[in-house]
A and B are shown apart, each in its own frame.
Chain A
């Protein structure tokens, strides 16, 4: 989370404009497990990117490039939809 704004700096009604959703680093809600990848098994189908409910799947152009854990809540959807088993959940604290 960046610098918190005071009441005078907030837009009327607290409206949110594009891009602002990146500010709250909601990965702090994650408990227990985080995704890991066996990159050799990845076929770059991008189903994980498509299904991730936040923006935790990072792309390099159109290629899978890993996870942004600042937005990952450990929901396991990516591991569930991965057709090759390349993604699996690992315990927090494991590199």
Chain B
């Protein structure tokens, strides 16, 4: 196992270091808060000769993802990064990247979608492209953002997958907050990531292909199904890649992380950095005899429905915290969890919290656990309690 001295890094800096170590061939990117420190840090590393990447200064995120598709399918390992409105502008092309099976790795600094315009964290940008067919892995910390970024090319480029992988880290809470991060040695990362191999590189001129062709009603359906099946394949690929990563680092990853769950009678389900806050509150409540646990969903797409059902199905109470709303419907993580728990006896309730960067304090989590929180946590103005 490889151990290194932790360095004090923000999530953005940690992912920039991961990109330096992966040393992608091409990075088409457009800056946007709170992703900017990732590409700013990486561009400096390239300018200093620490990575050998062609950075393409594009005029928009729509172009960033378009260029990323071209380079990834040409045969070049390709990464990019964005947030919020950038992802919204890119969304049309994200769907195409998935359908063309371009294994692009993208860092996402999660930020609320306009309007009103806001630069702070929530997960509405991720949820906008929920059904685009890309992999979405959520980090709890800068360390997880680094680790998931190192694993991401292996997942994206696996022959059973060949899809874009987004490594999502909460804007500011992770992108801009410094914490100790253990980086792997450069040569270990190079060996772990390996060479970039895809089945039909455009620049393989001895085997010419037309890519991204028109598909009529006779083939669109089959191609969409094949793409959806590739996303489902991520579940087993992630287990294998995370297993190798654990051998290297001792750090364990999966589609879910269960915390204090083995003897719990109830649990919270959450994504991203709030899981850290919730773990602290779980520890405090455990000390008072409250048998509460946490299930952190790392892989939001593909969603680990069966694993979540197995983890939560025998509990009395399940509380889902969503950092995105679905106006007129049920918030995304709540809806997924409800589907997973259909037929179990667990009582389920959901809360929306933290939109536009509203903090989730430990006291809020206590309130949620004792039934003293509104359905919209921390919202000013009285609602019925749930």
Binding site for B on A (CB under 8 A): 1, 4-8, 10-18, 21, 24
State which of B199, B207, B218 has its C-beta within 8 Å of the C-beta of A12.
Answer: B199
- What distance in Å separates the Cβ of B257 from its nearest Cβ neighbour in chain A? 31
Q: Is the CB of A14 within 8 A of B213?
A: yes
- What distance in Å separates the Cβ of A27 from its nearest Cβ neighbour in chain B? 15
State A16–B199 Cα separation when bound (angstroms). Answer: 13
Q: Is the CB of B208 within 8 A of A13?
A: no
- What distance in Å separates the Cβ of A3 from its nearest Cβ neighbour in chain B? 11
Q: Which of B186-243 contact A (CB under 8 A)?
A: 199-200, 207-213, 215-216, 218-219, 222-223, 225-226, 229
Known A-B contacts A13-B101, A15-B200; A7 and B208 likewise in contact (beta carbons under 8 Å): no
Known A-B contacts A7-B225, A11-B200; A17 and B100 likewise in contact (beta carbons under 8 Å): no
- What distance in Å separates the Cβ of B268 from its nearest Cβ neighbour in chain A? 38
State A79–B216 Cα separation when bound (angstroms). Answer: 29
State A37–B193 Cα separation when bound (angstroms). Answer: 62
Is residue B162 contacting chain A, with contact meaning CB distance below 8 A?
Answer: yes
Closest to B101 in A: A13
Closest to B225 in A: A7
Task: Specify which chain A residues have a CB less than 8 angstroms from the CB of B162 in the assembled complex.
Answer: 12-13
- What distance in Å separates the Cβ of A65 from its nearest Cβ neighbour in chain B? 27
Closest to B160 in A: A12
19 more A-B residue pairs beyond the given contacts A16-B210, A17-B210, A24-B216, with a C-beta to C-beta distance below 8 A = A4-B218, A5-B222, A6-B222, A7-B223, A7-B225, A10-B223, A11-B199, A12-B101, A12-B226, A13-B99, A13-B211, A13-B212, A14-B219, A14-B223, A15-B211, A15-B213, A16-B209, A16-B213, A21-B210
Pairs A–B under 8 Å by Cβ, sample size 5: A6-B222, A10-B219, A10-B223, A13-B212, A14-B215
- What distance in Å separates the Cβ of B160 from its nearest Cβ neighbour in chain A? 10
State A7–B218 Cα separation when bound (angstroms). Answer: 11
Interface majority SS on A: helix, strand, loop or mixed? Answer: loop
Top 5 nearest A-B pairs by Cβ distance? A13-B101, A16-B210, A7-B222, A15-B209, A7-B225
Total inter-chain residue pairs, C-beta < 8 Å: 53
Task: Specify which chain A residues have a CB less than 8 angstroms from the CB of B199 in the assembled complex.
Answer: 11-12
State A15–B213 Cα separation when bound (angstroms). Answer: 7
Which of A4, A7, A8 has the most C-beta atoms of chain B within 10 angstroms of its own C-beta?
A7
Q: Is the CB of A17 within 8 A of B219?
A: no
Closest to B222 in A: A7
- What distance in Å separates the Cβ of A58 from its nearest Cβ neighbour in chain B? 23
State which of A5, A6, A13, A24 has its C-beta within 8 Å of the C-beta of B100.
Answer: A13
Task: Specify which chain A residues have a CB less than 8 angstroms from the CB of B223 in the assembled complex.
Answer: 7, 10, 14
- What distance in Å separates the Cβ of B200 from its nearest Cβ neighbour in chain A? 5
State A14–B100 Cα separation when bound (angstroms). Answer: 7
Bitwise, B82-114 to A at CB < 8 A (1) or not (0) is: 000000000000000001111000000000000
Q: Is the CB of A17 within 8 A of B207?
A: yes
- What distance in Å separates the Cβ of B143 from its nearest Cβ neighbour in chain A? 33
- What distance in Å separates the Cβ of A33 from its nearest Cβ neighbour in chain B? 24
Q: Is the CB of B208 within 8 A of A18?
A: yes
State A5–B226 Cα separation when bound (angstroms). Answer: 12
